[in-house]
Amino acid sequence: MDEIAELRDALDRLHAALDDLAVRGLRSAGPQDLAKLTALRGEFRAAGAGHIAGRLDTTLDAVRADDRGAAAALLRTMTAARLFDRMLTLEVAAGMLSASEAGAAADEAETDE
């Protein structure tokens, strides 16, 4: 599996975990939920997405401390994850478009000969 596909998979799992917490409420977050977010944080840190990992750190710390700002931290993490998802999608689309243009230019050069 290539790096982009792994990131997409991790993002899908992150979206599901964060959405689940938003619907159920942060006070219902148990050890399994926190372990899942901690593992995802490690995946994003290893992939070079330190910003997402940092947002997850903030959210995890706030949830563990039963901080009143935990909901705001969760929403900021959700927003950062969605923006990262969009940027990744645009990067993949731009790469595919460039490859398509390069292929079309090569085909055109072959037909000109």
- Six-digit token string for 49: 């997405």
Please report whether residue 94 resides in a domain.
Answer: no
- Contact by Cβ (8 Å): 32, 63: no
The arithmetic mean of pLDDT across residues 82-88, rounded, is 91
> Is residue 93 included in any domain, yes or no?
no
Is residue 38 domain-resident? yes
Domain range for 48 is 3-82
**Domain for residue 104, yes or no?**
no
- For the stretch 62-79, pLDDT in tens is 999 999 999 999 999 999
**pLDDT tens for residues 26-52?**
999 999 999 999 999 999 999 999 999
Residue 37 near residue 17 (C-beta atoms within 8 A): yes
Number of domains the chain contains: 1
For the entire predicted model, the pTM comes to 0.79
**Is residue 96, in this structure, part of any structural domain at all?**
no
DSSP state of 14: H
